[in-house]
Amino acid sequence: MNAPRLLLFDTASVYFRAFFGMPTSLRAPDGRPVNAVRGLLDYLARFITDYSPTHVGCCWDNSWRPAWRVALVPTYKAHRVAHGDIEEVPADLVAQVPLILDVLAALGIAVVGADGYEADDVIGTLAATSGMPTEVITGDRDLFQVVDDAAAVRVLYLGRGQGRHDRVDGAWLAERYGVTPQTYADFATLRGDPSDGLPGVPGIGEKTAASLLQRYGDLAGILGAAQRGELSAKQAASLRDSIDYLGAASEVVRVARRVPLGTVQLQLRAQPADPERFEALTAELNLGGTAVRVREAMAQARRT
């Protein structure tokens, strides 16, 4: 039996990537789209096969745009709101989310979420408390802050196209961005992220943010240097004008590590929890070889 090892999937990040990366022609016999379902299962099968985990969790956005984050930065994900607080998502993907939950339940793979929090926060909490080496599968750079070499937590980043990923650890972050896992949240706050409605500090891009963090340690150190007149007049003015934003955004960007999750059962099963239901869904959704691969991956991981 393998030593304990945990795989955490940033589920929405993965199924969005699957939806846009897999052919729309993948459909159930009744015509329903299933490309996101099949793509997510393919990711599960591949990473379970490659990393042989003993525990697996699919982390869920119970709140994709938590009210406490919006209260801090009202523009947070605002451009992605369709109406009310509903995220703008293609109809063919919306229709597949309940199917994804049905398939994961039949497999017995835990879906873990918490009201008022995003999947990132669930991941941050589980990675900090699992007590075992942990890999996080995501296409979201914000999760680079959970990397912890001492605790053997790393991110498997799906940023290189279908079928490829980067293994993100402290050395990778230093080489790619010039920052540490501990300073990544401050780096992201300064740089901003338009895809999340976070503008960052005008005039401070990735290179400048990394340079300032290398010199002054963290955001508080940079602001102190600005007050002491150690930065250029332009940088100091930009930071001064952004001070309210920085205080709020630093909380928004930072992943929560103490989300109340209760007791969570993440141990990977050798076989589906409900084999009959999984077989029925395989036929109903035309999962074909995808279903075979995920079952084989689960069985193999438990045998290894």
pLDDT tens across 6-63, in order? 999 999 999 999 999 999 999 999 999 999 999 999 999 999 999 999 999 999 999 9
Q: What is the mean pLDDT of residues 120-130?
A: 97
Instruction: Identify which of 248, 174, 243, 185 has the alpha carbon closest to the alpha carbon of residue 218.
Output: 185
Q: What are residue 270's phi and psi, to 5 degrees? A: -80, -25
Q: What are residue 273's phi and psi, to 5 degrees? A: -65, -35
Longest Cα–Cα distance of the chain, Å, equals 69
For the domain spanning 181-253, the CATH number is 1.10.150.20
Residue 41 · residue 12 · CB < 8 Å: no
- pLDDT at site 4: 96
Identical fold for domains 6-169+256-303 and 181-253, yes or no, is no
pLDDT tens across 183-222, in order? 999 999 999 999 899 999 999 999 999 999 999 999 999 9
Q: pTM to 2 decimals?
A: 0.95
**Is residue 135 scored above 80 in pLDDT?**
yes
Q: What residue ranges do the domains of the chain occupy?
A: 6-169+256-303, 181-253
**Is residue 170 scored above 80 in pLDDT?**
yes
The correct answer on CATH 3.40.50.1010 for the domain covering 6-169+256-303 is yes
Neighbours of 156 (CB within 10 A): 18
- pLDDT at site 117: 98
pLDDT tens across 83-95, in order? 777 899 999 999 9
Angle, helix 97-107 to helix 275-284, in steps of 10 degrees: 150
Q: Which tokens sit at 280?
A: 């029925």
